[in-house]
Chains A and B, each alone.
Chain A
């Protein structure tokens, strides 16, 4: 789960990680009020959306007076901000973070993530003197600029780990202990709240030698939200695709894509493979959809409803491997769901597994119009042909 920058910064404050003074505003007026409360002359107004690259898209602007803060906020709030992560349609900005703009000497990078690679499989703290840039870019161009430190939640954080990062960043005396503490606090937060990624980019050194988290990105482990209700509350469903949200609520795993062949499959690996097959057959998948291992009539109907509310879908491919669940039951579920909702889109159904012959017979004898396919590839070819005709 992703959260907004302003939410991440509130958490940082709580955990003793210094951030610029600021507050979130939903209206230009509010933005101006916040600026006047902060005082001073230089401000930064930042669009709050769940996507990176906001600056390049015009979502981060400087302002030199309270009035300018209001004017800039007026322009940003309500705009459809397009960044490399939003897709061409962009994301509508509902709120801005208004902050003091501080004079910066240097920008560092600090991140905490899970290292999945074999023989590591632990938490990794990453730091670099090349802050402000994409860390992937730094990793590709000059990997020696990144300090990596493994840590494991079995056992607590030790002072040397913070110092390893702080000295590694080339910091000097007054800042060593500050930086060490920031690293330790970030790590503790990561463990306590089941984060899956934290990025502070940049972590700035100000002209008066303070360390300040100018940006903050936090992702949480969805599987751990059950034990952090306070984190779950930070979810902003407006940032997510409404169809994907609906699917999540009904226990179906759905990701919308750009193609015209809707697919419904049981199991994530097979669902992904079905998308690949559609592409191999010359079509474009409209979605990833995993109805779950059970694939009950109810789940199938919900899945059909989600599929058909995407207007780009021109035909549907149902691919179910009946294991514990018998194919004849799945077939009846499909027929029930399709007739309940008066399904009009052409459809190819491919069943495999337990009682497959019976399942195919049930489908062929039903009044609902299906194309029944036996082979995996044959199914994909048939549905692609439907879309193209």
Chain B
């Protein structure tokens, strides 16, 4: 039916009393998400439209049974918020915050190992399972329930692609933006593995971009361990080396991490790489038709 965010998810919002936190908590509720608690140190005892606010994540876990969290706190405090969620035993942590220092992420990744928690982000649009709920920024209207998984390193480009799918009548099982930072809580490989094991996902759309080696590692995984078809697009074919294209992670250094290189290895792994971003939805439709699923 979906990955990570499902019918059993009980969501806490860290930073719920802030402007972004409260806005997106309400949007999530409108989408049908089960938001069970808010957390803001010092604001415990209050509420947002009846959602109780706690001082500590552990209180949201013990009193409301929270097992997922969305983090909307400023960069200086976000690493602490992530660590608090890990320590409280939350298994799905989604951090939207932009601008967390890389070294903080290096530490967090080390501490995540063995915790059993999944971290999505930071600097990401979040996760949406249509029909169940969402954590993050993705606009409510673009989604449609279905059987295509979407993973991406970007934000609005992801909405664009989901929108293309929905316009063509192709629904999504779960859509995840893993974020544009150099070190992400979850990598393409982590998420691909979950989609491969999800009985209700038929196909995966992967939206990559220049910089780093996440797409190369995804290609390796797809080649070795995936049976489900993958359709991909890589942003940044026209990007010059040495220039950071907005995302901290989107930079070609020393000739490594170019779009051409990524497209090449993905194709070798049997991935259908669409070169025109306007036709990603159409490419997915064609594959589904060939599979007799459309």
Contact = CB atoms under 8 A, between A and B. Distances in A.
B240 interface: yes
A272 B245 contact: yes
Given A321-B160, A354-B141, A121 B250 contact: no
A310 to B, nearest CB: 15
A108 to B, nearest CB: 19
A117 interface: yes
Contacts of A285: 238
Contacts of B180: 268-269
B75 interface: yes
A269 B238 contact: no
A293 B137 contact: yes
A277 interface: yes
B205 to A, nearest CB: 14
Contacts of B183: 114, 116, 121
Contacts of A37: none
Interface in B195-217: 207, 209-210, 212-214, 217
Contact of A267 (B23, B102, B154, B275): B154
Contact of A269 (B75, B142, B154, B187): B154
Contacts of A253: 246
- In this complex, the interface size class of chain A, counting residues with CB under 8 Å from chain B, is 35 or more
Contacts, number: 174
B103 A191 contact: yes
Interface stretch (B10-18, B46-54, B85-93, B105-113): B105-113
Contact of B237 (A266, A270, A279): A279
A293 B98 CA distance: 12
A266 to B, nearest CB: 6
Contacts of B27: 324
Given A290-B246, A293-B155, A116 B182 contact: yes
A385 interface: no
B239 A272 contact: yes
A85 to B, nearest CB: 7
Contacts of B103: 114, 123, 153, 191, 194, 221, 224
A387 interface: no
B236 A276 contact: yes
A15 interface: no
A327 to B, nearest CB: 11
Contacts of B75: 223, 226
Interface in A102-157: 114, 116-118, 121-123, 136, 152-154
Interface stretch (B32-40, B64-72, B276-284): B276-284
B159 A353 contact: yes
A196 interface: yes
Contacts of A376: 160, 277-278
A280 interface: yes
Nearest to A378: B278
Contact of B159 (A265, A288, A323): A323
B254 A136 contact: yes
Contacts of A290: 246
A16 interface: no
A117 B187 CA distance: 10
Contacts of A277: 276-278
A224 B246 contact: no
A85 B246 contact: no
Given A114-B182, A278-B238, A321-B159, A272 B209 contact: yes
B98 to A, nearest CB: 8
A36 B105 CA distance: 48
**Chain A CB within 10 Å — which of B111, B156, B159, B243 has the most?**
B156
B29 interface: no
A345 interface: no
Contacts of A191: 103
Contacts of A324: 23, 27, 137, 139
A152 B106 contact: yes
Interface in B252-294: 254-255, 259, 275-279
Contact of A223 (B100, B153, B246, B278): B100
B110 A273 contact: no
B101 interface: yes
**Chain A CB within 10 Å — which of B238, B242, B247, B276 has the most?**
B238
B242 A223 contact: no
Given A114-B182, A117-B217, A122-B110, A272 B102 contact: no
A116 B213 contact: yes
A85 B248 CA distance: 20
Interface in A264-302: 265-273, 275-280, 285, 288, 290, 293
Given A114-B182, A122-B110, 18 more contacts: A116-B212, A117-B212, A121-B183, A152-B110, A191-B103, A194-B101, A194-B102, A223-B99, A224-B101, A227-B101, A268-B246, A268-B250, A269-B235, A269-B250, A272-B157, A353-B142, A353-B159, A375-B278
21 contacts: A152-B110, A154-B111, A194-B102, A196-B102, A221-B101, A226-B75, A255-B244, A267-B156, A268-B155, A270-B154, A272-B157, A272-B210, A272-B239, A272-B245, A276-B259, A290-B246, A321-B156, A323-B137, A376-B278, A377-B278, A377-B279
Interface of A: 85, 114, 116-118, 121-123, 136, 152-154, 191, 194, 196, 221-224, 226-227, 253, 255, 257, 265-273, 275-280, 285, 288, 290, 293, 321-324, 352-354, 375-378
**A-B CB proximity, top 10 nearest:** A269-B154, A268-B246, A267-B156, A269-B157, A323-B139, A224-B101, A376-B278, A377-B278, A270-B156, A136-B254
